[in-house]
Structure 1
């Protein structure tokens, strides 16, 4: 996983604006304009984002900040998602056998855009785990 895959919106904004940085919060706010709606966040809102406070995230704000930071909107949206919602998740890259307990939880962490086909080792590990459990043994890590 790259650093970019773990960055938050607060990190993107605070790296660019604030005391001793390239921009003041006012300068970044003035440059942050959603090209579609014309929305621009206030300097106070930009400061709240940089300091990690909870704010209402919406598409115009994300697009405005992307424009102000000179970054791709998807990168800014992904950073906002990680900070305010959490990591992306998806179903396991394998079929859970019908005889498995209903309360078993499977979680696989993967970068955004990774598909089931990109994770053959996860599927192989799970299949080996099921085989060992069926034989009454314990899985090794």
Structure 2
């Protein structure tokens, strides 16, 4: 005779609610940035080509859609993208989601060890320079000041 598993009714209800809500939570986190945001959402297929084939500077946030700091910082990154939107030819703002399994290898290749990680790609004299994290605030401030004087 097989044993019958008896669970309290509240546990069944709790399990059912979790099964319904978990996919919604995952979708909300996965959509930290959308096509309506004034930035470029890079994918595994577009990351290298977009950054290497461009003569403009790139500010890239490598983030994880489940990261609390990334979620809190997303509104600031979107505001920065709006602030520099008029200078699209000189500077572009982008994001890359390292939480997606297909992006694991690229995030490792770019040396991403924590989230969010900010990198600046500058092409100067045909040489590509990558600057990371602590310099981002200084670079953004200097870039915005310089661009304001030009336009």
> TM-score normalized by structure 2?
0.26
> TM-score normalized by structure 1?
0.27
Which protein, 1 or 2, shows the higher relative CO under an 8 Å CA cutoff with sep ≥ 6?
2
